[in-house]
Amino acid sequence: DSGVTQTPKHLITATGQRVTLRCSPRSGDLSVYWYQQSLDQGLQFLIQYYNGEERAKGNILERFSAQQFPDLHSELNLSSLELGDSALYFCASSVDGPFGAYGYTFGSGTRLTVV
């Protein structure tokens, strides 16, 4: 157990639908990162939140959005789902400090299948 909790572990939904993925960071970590891992594009950075505020944005589609709540858990919302959104979605957290200093701790991921 890495200390980063992601729910649900698996999700199957139809095209056009909306889903919410949830992440609880490791105790004490203020930063939360979302990554998408698909077969043809590897691991892609989506977005980072730090203590409730958006800090960095990567290749995140406009149909996707995220937020971090006061208790530091984060949610990734995916809407108007397409077949190509099928992927493994990872959440990671890190200790407050200089960038990269400590690496990220990853959750076990949410496997999203769009049918």
Contact positions toward another protein, by CB under 8 A?
2, 33, 35, 42-43, 45, 48, 56, 58, 88, 90, 92, 99-106, 108-109
Instruction: CB nearer to another protein: give 22 or 111.
Output: 111
DSSP assignment of 50-110 equals: ETTEEEEE-S--TTEEEEE-TTS-EEEEE-S--GGG-EEEEEEEE-SSSTTSS--EE---E
**Residue 13 Cβ vs another protein, minimum distance, rounded to whole Å:** 20
**Residue 56 Cβ vs another protein, minimum distance, rounded to whole Å:** 6
- Nearest-Å Rg of the Cα atoms of the chain is 13
What residues are paired with 35 via a beta bridge? Answer: 45, 90
Instruction: CB nearer to another protein: give 60 or 65.
Output: 60
Token duo for residue 37 = 């891992």
**Residue 66 Cβ vs another protein, minimum distance, rounded to whole Å:** 14
Residue identified by tokens 């709540």 is 69
Instruction: CB nearer to another protein: give 12 or 18.
Output: 12
Distance (Å, whole) CA 76 – CA 97? 24
**Residue 35 Cβ vs another protein, minimum distance, rounded to whole Å:** 8
Instruction: CB nearer to another protein: give 14 or 101.
Output: 101
